[in-house]
Copies of this chain bind each other. A is one copy, B any other.
Amino acid sequence: MTTINQTFEKEHYKHFEGLMTQGNGYLSIRASFEEDYIEGQDDLYWRMPANVTVEKKRHTEGKFGTYIPLIVGNHPILREEMINLPYFLGMNFYVDGCKFHINHARNHHRKLDLKDGLITRYFDFKGIHIKTERYIHQVHKNLVVQKYEIQGDKDIEVESYIDYGVTTNGYNHFVETSYNLENGLHLNLLTDMNDEVEIVSRLSLDKTTSVSDPPYLMEKKLLHLKKDQKYVFYKYTLIRTSKDVNPCGIDFDFDKLYAEHQKAWQEKWDMADVVIEGDSNLQYALRVSIYHLLRSNNEHESRVAIDAKGAAGEAYFGHFFWDTEIYLLPFYLLTNPVAAKNLLMFRVNTLEAAKKNAKSYGYNGAKYPWESSVSGAEQCSNWQYADLEIHVGLDIAYAMINYLKATGDQECFNNHFLECIDEVLMYFMERLSYKDGEFHLKGVMGPDEYIHYSDNNAYTNKLLYEIMKFRIQYQSDTFSKKLLIYKDGLVIQDDYIIEQCDHFGDFDNLDFDLVWPDKSKPFGATISQEKNYRSKALKQADVLMLFFLYKDQYSKERMKDNLDYYLPLTTHDSSLSYIIHSIIMNWTCDERAYEYLEKAMAIDINYGAEDGIHIANCGGLYQGLVFGLCGMKVGANVTFDPKLPKNIRKVSFKYNHLGKKYQVDINHNGVNVNEIM
């Protein structure tokens, strides 16, 4: 199985902290070193609201990150955000009184094994050999296990600590803290949203505890090693919150625990893995992606979705976007329908908040927030996104309809999802403007956020049209009949080259080479927002998203011609962009398809994970493989129309469809599908 390997380079430390994030869905922890390596990474400073794409974030060499996505706090400026909890994996070593620092390590190596999320680390320090292991337990969600093997002939002092001086985007969310050190490290916190968090950490040795000043709890042990003696000990940490449902009884037997953990991971991989023969780069990128999709999802939890950084960083404050429904959901739908259902149930659980949001704008129905947090209220501090990027409600409706098609789960759809769809449609009926027999959707931001204000955005209007159409056909009730007039009058951009929005042709033409000389920087960071907003420059796929979602309705030629029109205008400043292009290119037999797949593959792996994982792109890569390269199509039946590059000999994966499981093997000779009994 695949591993992520890190040889230490200071400038990439923060990237590997993100890329090697561990987790079990309930809890995620960035892969910071155990020793206190970075000073001042969490100074109190207030991060200000800004357009995230072009934000100049505060640079720190490293960043602790311990996240339970259900535990959020109120940042005074940035609103509700996932709290960075205390870093409790802390462990320092003193050999002959000299504290270990990475700069004095020899033969240092660290790796994350994707198969079970175990991080193993080896290093030598002053003649001592140290091996460490750590993992977040996949079954006992509250448990984190660390194991240490030390070999040498020195006196060594080990120091276990919890650092609770951490902040989230520079803000301290802990309003009360208390601790005791009588039997290990025991920390209790109260957050500013009244959640209790308890952390208990213990070394499994006789202890000589010493107390340090908060916010740094410490437990010290002295080990007397003899030549070639190996010393093994463990650090167990339990983290619990007042939002937990089932505290679990744990039998603290390392071997038993690890076997249980491995088995749970193995079951996940068994259904989710994609095996690719002949392309190790793609195999690696895809497995890293699948690892993070598995690691960040709590399949039985419907009180949260998956945030834009997959709980591996604070860049998007732990907020949930349309990414969940359009980029992530297909992976879960195919590999774990229960997880897919619970992700959508999060939207059901926050329907009331979406209705309140609609009301705040003067509308009935539901306006799902552009940026959601646990509460379901709008969290976006840039008004233009919050007010105008209204397609998110339609994306949710689209995903719910997709869920019905893929699972056939009418009970859940009728009992839960249909109400959300109806409330979303209600909002849109009131949001439409009427003129001369036509309905217009004015003042809208489409997926391409570089045109912030437009009328009749092609993507948004089309989605609305299709969802109204579905609803009219799905159940013939009063409400569905009422939709007829809106649907039939709705303006749809339907020229052969589809205009992204009204008057798109009037936007300014740019000489990209002139205004964007250094393509290593985002376009949005090079040009002023003002000029950007009035120019033919796209952040990401917009019209192409229509083809992605409604492939059947467009000819290959039309897709291709639209691609050729929009591609030169597209900056790909968003990580959501490349993979859609790759998929459309695959469908139109464009030879650049693999090139764009590679661009998507590089996003996290090529030192892009500093502030967390681009989790939507992880889901995108999966879709790029199954829908793009393999040409999978999910309807009443599942079909494949693969376009494997020559070097890829074989692709194999499993999927769910209408309650059954299948194994598919694709090679250059054909497609072989078998139901798994």
Contacts and interface: CB of A to CB of B under 8 A. Distances in A.
Interface of A: 46, 48, 76-77, 360-362, 383-384, 387-388, 433, 435, 442-443, 452-453, 455, 503, 506, 508, 515, 527-531, 533-534
Contact of A383 (B362, B387, B455, B529): B529
Contacts of A529: 383, 387
Contacts of A453: 452-453, 533
Contacts of A455: 506
Contacts of A435: 506
A362 B531 contact: yes
A48 B78 CA distance: 11
Nearest to A503: B503
Contacts of A383: 529
A515 B387 contact: no
A99 to B, nearest CB: 37
Nearest to A386: B530
A529 B453 CA distance: 13
B361 A530 contact: yes
Contact of A48 (B77, B508, B528): B77
Given A362-B515, A442-B508, A530 B77 contact: no
Given A48-B77, A433-B534, A362 B528 contact: yes
6 contacts: A360-B528, A361-B528, A387-B530, A433-B534, A435-B506, A453-B533
Given A387-B529, A528-B360, A529-B387, A534 B77 contact: no
A79 to B, nearest CB: 11
Given A443-B534, A530-B388, A433 B362 contact: no
A266 to B, nearest CB: 49
A383 B530 CA distance: 9
A497 B430 CA distance: 31
A528 B357 CA distance: 11
Nearest to A443: B534
B46 A528 contact: no
A533 B443 contact: yes
B387 A528 contact: yes
Contacts of A433: 508, 534
Contact of A530 (B48, B443, B527): B443
A442 B454 CA distance: 13
A70 to B, nearest CB: 27
A523 B191 CA distance: 39
A442 B362 contact: no
